[in-house]
Amino acid sequence: MTRFTRHDYLERPPEKLVLEGYRYWTRGYVARSTAPWTEAQQLYRGMLGEADGERAIIALAGFVKTLGACAACPLKTVRSGAPFICRDETLVMGLIAGIQNADQPAVEFCLKKLCYRNSCDAVAMAAGDFAIQLRSMDQVMVPIPVHALADCMDRAASTGMEPIARPTLH
């Protein structure tokens, strides 16, 4: 099993595309500004090339829009480039990694925590499109087992260590 430091993990291209893409895109919605979307597009095109970057950013936009409309509570995120991830970002990372690695327990755990039960299918479809687009470009995240996701959620809740995150979509 490969072990990563937090910094190494967040700098891996697949994880960086998912996390920073989510951060930029949600910030664009909240700020009602296209500037963060432009930053996301530059990141994706810089890492994936023009055609793949465009396909991936379209899938990201669909995922974030669907998740924002279906979330059980206002989604949160932290600033781009932060060396930590908040609860919702952890769940987004777990969801995309779970889909890419065919880890159904992780997918179900993340969906249950992120959205209303009656909207899980819509979020799963949008997340699946995004995850598979990245996978088709050889951008596969490291698996995040459900026990690791649950441990992250428990630790953040019990220690009050959740970083301050701004509400975003809802």
pLDDT digits (tens, 9 = 90+) for 72-115: 888 888 888 888 889 999 999 999 999 999 999 999 999 999 99
Give a yes or no: residue 136 inside a domain. Answer: yes
Give a yes or no: residue 1 inside a domain. Answer: no
Give a yes or no: residue 10 inside a domain. Answer: yes
What is the reported pTM?
0.89
Give a yes or no: residue 114 inside a domain. Answer: yes
The confidence score (pLDDT) of residue 163 equals 46
The count of domains in the chain is 1
Give a yes or no: residue 143 inside a domain. Answer: yes
Distance CA 21, CA 69 (A): 18
Share of the chain above pLDDT 90, in %: 70
Residue numbers of the domain that contains 42: 6-167
